């Protein structure tokens, strides 16, 4: 075997080891689960999108915040559960963000601005322009509060 081939083989083996080790360190179970949730929120069936948003409202993982904000642009109807049937992904995502934001800044939905940050007065349906407006407001909010810690607890007065 000539010297160039031996160097190539060693380099290839080292690169393979580095890629394997770095992927083992980066892709832990939590990261893989987060990637699955992000995928379901973007491409999943309506019931999967609803499940991800409900999980977000239960646990508020920060890693999902940008994806929940992007979901405000999604007008997919959610499954009906003995209700009026007008629930949509964008409505649920805005509600989830309002609840999350309250934990950060302590403001209620009304204090923050019902028209600016939610679809409360839209009857659950909003055109693309309206969704983009709310999306932009949440994007600006996240830019401002991204590094903030949770300061408000619901049982506080």
Mean pLDDT confidence for 7-35: 77
Domain ranges of the chain: 29-145
Give yes or no for residue 157 having a pLDDT over 60.
no
The per-residue pLDDT of the chain, averaged, comes to 84
Predicted model pTM: 0.76
Residues 123-151 have pLDDT tens digits of: 656 788 889 999 999 999 999 988 887 76
Q: What is the DSSP string of 92-151?
A: HHHHHHHHHHHHHH---HHHH-HHHH--GGGTT---HHHHHHHHHHHHHHHHHHTTPPP-
**pLDDT of 125:** 65
Q: What is the DSSP string of 57-97?
A: HHH--GGGHHHHHHGGG--PBPPPSSS-S--BHHHHHHHHH
């Amino acid at each position: 075997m000539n010297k160039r081939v031996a160097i190539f083989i060693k380099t290839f083996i080292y690169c393979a080891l580095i890629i394997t080790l770095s992927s083992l360190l980066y892709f832990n179970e939590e990261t893989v689960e987060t990637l699955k949730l992000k995928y379901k929120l973007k491409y999943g069936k309506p019931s999967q999108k609803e499940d991800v948003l409900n999980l977000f409202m239960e646990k508020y993982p920060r890693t999902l915040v940008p994806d929940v904000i992007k979901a405000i642009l999604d007008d997919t109807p959610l499954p009906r559960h003995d209700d009026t049937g007008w629930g949509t992904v964008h409505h649920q995502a805005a509600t989830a963000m309002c609840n999350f934001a309250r934990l950060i800044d302590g403001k209620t939905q009304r204090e923050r601005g019902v028209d600016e940050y939610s679809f409360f007065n839209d009857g659950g349906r909003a055109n693309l322009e309206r969704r983009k407006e709310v999306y932009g407001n949440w994007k600006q909010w996240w830019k401002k509060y991204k590094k903030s810690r949770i300061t408000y607890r619901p049982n506080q007065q």
